[in-house]
Amino acid sequence: MKKMGIPLIIIGAICLALGIYFVARSDSKSQKETSSVVNENYKMGKDFEEYVVNLLNPRQFKLIEKVNDYSGQYHKAERNKYCDIVFRDKATNKEFAIECKYRSSWHEYNGDMKVSWVEQYKIDDYNKFSRDKNMSVVVMLGVGGTPDHPADLYCIPLRALQEPFPIRKSYAENFRLNPDKPIYWSNNIHNLENR
């Protein structure tokens, strides 16, 4: 019986070592896949922000600020709490902020087409930004197509987001923009609109 004990301990140790190796390898692969998805989502977000900046005619709008998102393993830039872009309407001298969100498609939730776009704490951050800066905040939402040419484009005033997540498509339709037509700032509705 003693002769069998030592080989069994050795076999057990080898199996344990192999198990640890394969779990670590699997975790590494999973981290790489997660990192790849995060990088792709980040790139799509940046591409959509660039699309939005290019929508606004520089003869009418002055780009004031564009936040450079940074989020590392241990640190997250405080400015990430702010909106992505700040513009000034040259005709009215009114500044407004844009939070850009791109989603690849609408999804069915309880029989209604909706899209999730943000967590409540971000809505709170945007509302605080709006109050602190005394500035209107709008959410530019692109859905479908590609980030640099979404199928659907909406500009929703933050104050109009009664149900922050998810947004119903039927509600978003009230704020649809046609990117092929000129876009203007409206002081009456505190939003961008087509004319």
pLDDT of amino acid 39: 79
Q: Tell me whether residue 68 is in a domain.
A: yes
Q: Tell me whether residue 189 is in a domain.
A: yes
**Tens digit of each residue's pLDDT (9 = 90 or more) over 79-128:** 666 889 999 999 999 999 999 999 999 999 888 999 988 888 888 899 99
Which CATH number do you get for residue 98?
3.40.1350.10
Q: Tell me whether residue 33 is in a domain.
A: no
In this prediction, residue 8 has a pLDDT band, given cuts at 50, 70 and 90, of low
Q: Tell me whether residue 21 is in a domain.
A: no
Q: Tell me whether residue 95 is in a domain.
A: yes
Q: In which domain, by residue range, is 54 found?
A: 42-194
Q: Tell me whether residue 32 is in a domain.
A: no
Q: pTM of the predicted model, to two decimals?
A: 0.76
Q: What percent of the chain has pLDDT over 90?
A: 47
Mean residue pLDDT across the chain = 82
What are the start-end ranges of the E strands in 39-175?
61-66, 85-89, 94-103, 107-109, 112-115, 136-143, 152-157, 167-168
User: Above 80 in pLDDT, residue 131?
Assistant: yes
* Better-scored residue on pLDDT, 18 or 178: 178
Q: Tell me whether residue 17 is in a domain.
A: no
Q: Look at the chain and count its residues.
A: 195
Interacting residues of 132 by C-beta distance below 8 A, sequence separation 6+: none
Q: Tell me whether residue 101 is in a domain.
A: yes
Q: Number of structural domains, the chain? A: 1
